[in-house]
Amino acid sequence: MGVEAVLTAGVVLGLMGLLMFTRLPVDAVFVGALTLLLVAGVISADQALSGFSNEGLATVAVLYVVVAGLRDTGATQWLAARLLGRPRGEAGAQARVTLPVAGFSAFLNNTPVVAMMIPTISEWAGKFGLQRSKLLMPLSYAAILGGGCTIIGTSTTLIVNGYLLRDEVHEGLGFFEIAWVGLPVALAGLVLMLVAGRWLFPARESLSRQVRDAREYAVEMLVQGEGPLVGKTVEEAGLRHLAGSYLVEIDRRGDLIPAVAPDERLEADDRLVFVGVPDAVVELQKIRGLVPATDQVFKLDGPRAHRTMVEAVVSETCPLVGKTIREGRFRNRYDAVVIAVARGGRRLKEKPGDIRLRPGDALFLETRPGFADKYGFSRDFYLVSQIQDSSPPRHERALPAALILLGMVAAATTGLLSIFQAALLAAGAMLVMRCTTASVARRQVDWQILIVIGAAFGIGAALQETGLAQMVAGAVVGMAGGSPWGALLAVYVVTALFTAVITNNAAAVLMIPIALSAAQSLEVSFIPYAVTIMMAASASFMTPMGYQTNLMVYGPGGYQFNDYIKAGLPMTLLTGLVAVGVIPLVWGF
């Protein structure tokens, strides 16, 4: 082994050690490792930067914009609410979560799908008294399984397919081609979760449930006259079981209806009075057919979709102390509208305009995004806090967003456009049709993932350039006894182990040169090995850090590290056996 191979091996081992035993940012660790290899002369600048020009990486970035358009229009939330419905027991709830999410993830990158579904499922669980921990880990696993059914379903399949497209010897896979193995793997995993879910998934309480929010607001919402809620009962409108809030009364043209029954039918211009914590109030603002009852909201400049929700605590030096919100002309002074007020953690029954402000009052505001920056250090407020993801959805743009997604899938499936071209066109259409904005889309891109993928390609080039990949591949082939099928199993196992301790995309990129060398030494096709890497790196269930969606549900579900081993080990064994059994039958050696 040459000096450069020894140095590369040391860098890779050090990289894995830092990821396993420290809390350093993943992207910083990968860029640091790439820098060492570049400075040491192991790889050239072109090789170090080659990963950032990979077509799969670019497709991953563009798809974030497509998902932003679907989320900002409320299309995904609307569809999820219709599919979730009313569960019958724990197993029924898991089925209602896993089956739709697996379908979503086949056509949308699974990371943003899980990000959108976590609050939806958390709220849904609260409505029906279900434990989040029984649903959020299945959510992550279902997204992983569904992502393996199409090329765009997960960043890992896009990255490996991007390598195949760049290689002059191989052609990339078709849009649905990977479904030959992805669908059997997904079905096996879903069946295991639904049959053994009560034993696989723990009963935990999330941190957010352990520490309840002390601030409680009363907010009035108006039923839009031409909206979809008119004529529906409170139960049918989904307003009966709300997480963190409840419907107190209905003001119907001056007549109060207290203790609202679930079969009470909503009428146009009904004023609904809800009481709830801040996050629940934000969710009310996103329900199609409900708008804030205060006319002040519609007097602010700019469309509502460009606004956000902010909490502010009144200071004793605020010039409006002692005045009502109306007398102080709050909207004109701050370019913001008071939606609700809490005092001492308790709601106030008066209408916001009639409330006389005191120091310490907590205000729930609708305003432009720049409010927090402008008044964050103002003496008028003790505290100003912007609530994340609180912009009202662009419901009127939901249909165009859905049509854009269908057009992208159709163009990529029929071969009319490449996957990258179709995704790029769809992202542009989302911006042109005002389904999302450029600033919002920019924030949705997960730059850490992209940096890790790009850097991992450079490190993979070092493995191949120094001959280290060939040495590891020789060991893998040796363990397999020279059998292509045995080598395939060994590649799956090694990739799965790499994925459990580092990230899925990095594991895939690092395994590509090793698997390629194994295929060349056995004089067989590289395609089945590439597909094996796709499936092994995507199907990461055993650790929270092995896949980003696992890490995303870790806190909200209140999970412990061992919970992933208990549920993930049988999932990994079953999906691995199915994948290794099916792949050689579809893509022969």
Structure tokens at 2: 């040459």
The answer to whether the beta carbons of residues 143 and 102 sit under 8 Å apart is: yes
Same domain, 227 and 193: no
Q: Establish if 576 belongs to a structural domain.
A: no
CA angle 473/476/480 to nearest 5° reads 135
Q: Establish if 488 belongs to a structural domain.
A: no
Q: Establish if 270 belongs to a structural domain.
A: yes
d(Cα 530, Cα 376) in Å, to the nearest integer? Answer: 51
Same domain, 169 and 222: no
Q: Which run of H or E residues covers position 181? A: helix 179-200
Q: Please tell me the predicted confidence (pLDDT) of residue 170.
A: 62
Reduced to 3 states (helix: H, G, I; strand: E, B; else coil), residue 138 is helix
Q: Establish if 565 belongs to a structural domain.
A: no
Render pLDDT for 361-391 as a digit per residue (tens, 0 to 9): 888 888 887 888 888 888 899 888 877 666 7
Q: Please tell me the predicted confidence (pLDDT) of residue 137.
A: 92
The answer to whether the beta carbons of residues 356 and 322 sit under 8 Å apart is: yes
Phi, psi (rounded to 5 degrees) for 455: -70, -35
Q: Tokens 């057009």 belong to which residue?
A: 407
Name the region of 44 (left: φ>0; alpha: ψ -120 to 50; beta: rest): beta
Same domain, 263 and 202: no
DSSP state of 437: -
Same domain, 176 and 221: no
Structure tokens at 119: 């609050």
| Residue ending a domain, choose from 386, 421, 452 | 386
Please name the residues in contact with 299: beta carbons below 8 A apart, sequence gap of 6 or more: 331, 337
Residue 182 domain boundaries: 64-206+396-444
Q: Tokens 């896979």 belong to which residue?
A: 173
DSSP state of 481: T
Q: Establish if 23 belongs to a structural domain.
A: no
Nearest to 18 by CA among 30, 34, 1, 6: 30
Q: Establish if 459 belongs to a structural domain.
A: no
Q: Please tell me the predicted confidence (pLDDT) of residue 209.
A: 46
Rounded to two decimals, what is the model's pTM? Answer: 0.66
The answer to whether the beta carbons of residues 277 and 245 sit under 8 Å apart is: yes
Structure tokens at 487: 């080598």
Q: Establish if 37 belongs to a structural domain.
A: no
Same domain, 95 and 178: yes
Reduced to 3 states (helix: H, G, I; strand: E, B; else coil), residue 250 is strand
Render pLDDT for 493-512 as a digit per residue (tens, 0 to 9): 888 887 876 677 778 887 88
Nearest to 125 by CA among 19, 207, 43, 205: 205
Render pLDDT for 270-323 as a digit per residue (tens, 0 to 9): 988 888 777 777 777 778 888 888 777 666 766 666 678 888 899 999 999 999
Same domain, 319 and 291: yes
Number of domains in the chain: 2
Please name the residues in contact with 343: beta carbons below 8 A apart, sequence gap of 6 or more: 358, 360, 361, 362
d(Cα 341, Cα 412) in Å, to the nearest integer? Answer: 50
HEC profile of 196-243: HHHHHCCCCCCHHHHCCCCCCEEEEEEECCCCCCCCCECCCCCCCCCC
CATH of the domain at 265: 3.30.70.1450
Helices (H), 466-503: 468-479, 484-501
Same domain, 227 and 366: yes
Q: Please tell me the predicted confidence (pLDDT) of residue 85.
A: 73
Q: Establish if 244 belongs to a structural domain.
A: yes
Same domain, 361 and 403: no
Q: Which run of H or E residues covers position 553? A: helix 548-554
342: which strand partners?
Answer: 347, 362
Same domain, 325 and 426: no
Same domain, 379 and 411: no
Same domain, 236 and 295: yes
**Stretches in the chain below the pLDDT threshold 50:** 207-213
Rounded-to-5 percentages of helix, strand, coil across the chain = 60, 10, 30
Nearest to 106 by CA among 165, 203, 178: 178
Q: Please tell me the predicted confidence (pLDDT) of residue 3.
A: 86
Same domain, 235 and 166: no
State which amino acid sits at residue 567. Answer: A
